[in-house]
Amino acid sequence: MKAAVITFPGSNCDRDLAVALEQAGAQVARVWHKDDALPEGTDLVAVPGGFSFGDYLRCGAIAAQSPIAGALRRHAERGGYVLGICNGFQVLTELGLLPGALMRNTGLTFLCRTAMLEVATSDSDFTAGYEKGQRIAIPVAHHDGNYQVTPEGLAALRDGDRIAFTYGPAINGSVADIAGVLSENRRVLGMMPHPERAADPALGGTDGAALFRSLVNGVVNA
């Protein structure tokens, strides 16, 4: 599987994401935000966490206007896989590739700790390595991770089994405790927690590693 990890000014999890994908068996290329094309044969575009462009306007809003954003959108529209983590999730909502928006956390505080998640669906190449209902420990580090979506949008997510992960217990005010959502074709995942920070025993946990292994296997066998 060929993966492309995008770096924006202010990204700080791009290397961690690339390493997690490589350890899962992916061939990883690094892509700069001023590039206007993805490497030939790219299967997965990964948008990392951090603070793209300093979050000076609105989290992910400036990144969504970068030259590489057009290539990312075209990749998703033709059925390519996309993974957005934390700030990457925010970028994907700004691009309209996922519904909803990420707002300031309840209490207006930056959260940086391990959160307990519940796997809401195993029916995707991202989550097939888990059991539905399984509880996993994944770090979070965000100030704007409060996921909000319209009642109609929430109903669509539930009806389509597109809620990937939920928080348990709640941590940031997200509607329905949502921590990650899938696109309609199930090939785009956005999530606020950082599985790449829980993909190696040296990091203190490995609950995130299954996501990357599952994704690589799913793409190879697609």
CA distance 80 to 187: 7
- Among the listed residues 86, 94, 112, 131, the single catalytic one is 86
Catalytic residue list contains 196: yes
Out of 33, 75, 142, 194, which one is annotated catalytic? 194
Q: Using CA atoms of 148, 152, 154, 159 in order, give the dihedral in degrees to the nearest 10.
A: -170
Transcribe 183-209 into DSSP letters. -TTS-EEEESS-GGGGSBGGGTB-TTH
Residue closest to 195 by CA, chosen among 129, 148, 132: 129
Q: What is the 8-class DSSP label of residue 11? A: B
59 catalytic residue (yes or no)? no
**Which residue's entry shows tokens 């040296």?**
202
Cα separation, 210 vs 208, in Å, equals 6
**Is position 112 annotated as part of the catalytic site?**
no
Rg of the chain on CA atoms, in Å: 15
Active-site positions read 86, 194, 196
